[in-house]
């Protein structure tokens, strides 16, 4: 299948998967967060509208650039993976692993570097995380990430079809991770050995800072174990989502979300020992 056609199908798949997870949340939510359907609908539309803006800008300004730099790197045998004698299958596996470890470090930088955190915290400020929160990213954060990919793709020698495949996998898991659901406990335990699960990502969205600054991985959970940022807690049902001082409407309405990087929280975050939960490296 042509990479461009595959990219279109990825959009169709994403919408279908979003609808399925919305239905799952409706009939078996992990948290009972909303007072009614209207509040949930407004919340979801605000978040999804962010995805429309980000998606349009990315498609118009960057998708064709990523495709061209990937094709040039492949044509001239430039980039790390193009210098290695790899079969197409091994090339693809290596590309996905390299792309994912880059995503881990980019996410971690978004928490550690103050200027990046000002934009990334809009994503974390959602006190009612559900599947639509997977769309809630500030445009500036998306733009910085997109520019860096223009350099990353040829330097690593990643083919454009591998970019599309990785983005498809990432979209599947990111929507699942943010959904207001929980996998059956045996499935959760088994799945998190390799992949990031909804419970692991709920811990990451806790407003208790030691938990916020953990579980950075997006696809493969072993990056957090490898780089010592993996964290579990025994009572995920007691996690308080969001960020202290950012629950007010001024941070949650459409205009307020855009202004988040330029406003400070109403109160300084106050860590609560009761929210910490145990660290479990297993």
- What does the pLDDT read at residue 277? 39
Q: Which candidate, 245, 272, 28, places its Cα nearest to that of 121?
A: 245
- DSSP conformational letter for 206: B
Burial label for 186, CB within 10 Å (0-12, 13-18, 19+), is exposed
- What does the pLDDT read at residue 169? 94
Please list the pLDDT of the chain residue by residue as tens digits (282 residues). Answer: 455 565 567 667 778 899 999 999 999 999 988 878 899 999 999 999 998 999 899 988 998 999 999 999 999 999 999 999 999 999 999 999 999 999 999 999 999 999 999 999 999 999 999 999 999 999 999 999 999 999 999 999 999 999 999 999 999 999 999 999 999 999 999 999 999 999 999 999 999 999 999 999 999 999 999 999 999 999 999 999 999 999 998 899 999 999 999 998 876 544 443 443 333 333
Q: What pTM, to 2 d.p., does this model score?
A: 0.90
- For residue 195, the SS3 value is strand
Spatial distance between the Cα atoms of 50 and 68, rounded to a whole number of angstroms: 26
CB atoms within 10 A of CB 105: 13
What residue segments make up the domains of the chain, in order of their start? 3-26+33-276
| Separation of CA 12 from chain center | 19
- What does the pLDDT read at residue 59? 86
Q: Name the maximum alpha-carbon separation found in the chain.
A: 57
């Amino acid at each position: 299948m042509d990479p461009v056609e595959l990219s279109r199908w990825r959009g169709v798949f994403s919408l279908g998967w979003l609808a399925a997870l919305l239905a799952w949340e409706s009939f078996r939510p992990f948290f009972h967060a909303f007072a009614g359907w209207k509040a949930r609908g407004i919340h979801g539309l605000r978040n999804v509208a962010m995805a429309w803006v980000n998606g349009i800008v990315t498609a118009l300004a960057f998708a064709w650039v990523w495709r061209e730099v990937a094709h040039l790197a492949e044509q001239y045998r430039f980039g790390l993976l193009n210098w290695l004698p790899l079969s197409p299958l091994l090339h693809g596996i290596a590309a996905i692993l390299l792309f994912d470890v880059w995503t881990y470090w980019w996410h971690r930088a978004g928490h550690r570097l103050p200027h990046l955190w000002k934009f990334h915290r809009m994503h974390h400020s959602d006190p009612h995380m559900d599947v639509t929160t997977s769309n809630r990213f500030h445009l500036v954060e998306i733009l910085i990430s997109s520019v860096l990919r223009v350099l990353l793709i040829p330097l690593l020698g990643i083919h454009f079809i591998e970019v599309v495949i990785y983005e498809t996998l990432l979209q599947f898991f990111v929507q699942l991770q943010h959904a207001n659901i929980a996998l059956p406990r045996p499935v959760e335990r088994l799945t998190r050995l390799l992949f990031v699960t909804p419970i692991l990502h709920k811990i990451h969205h806790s407003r208790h800072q030691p938990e916020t600054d953990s579980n950075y991985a997006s696809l493969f959970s072993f990056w957090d174990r490898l780089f010592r940022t993996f964290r579990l807690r025994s009572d995920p049902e007691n996690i308080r989502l969001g960020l202290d001082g950012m629950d007010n409407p001024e941070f949650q309405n459409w205009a307020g979300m855009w202004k988040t990087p330029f406003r400070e929280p109403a109160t300084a975050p106050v860590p609560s020992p009761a929210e910490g939960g145990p660290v479990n490296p297993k």
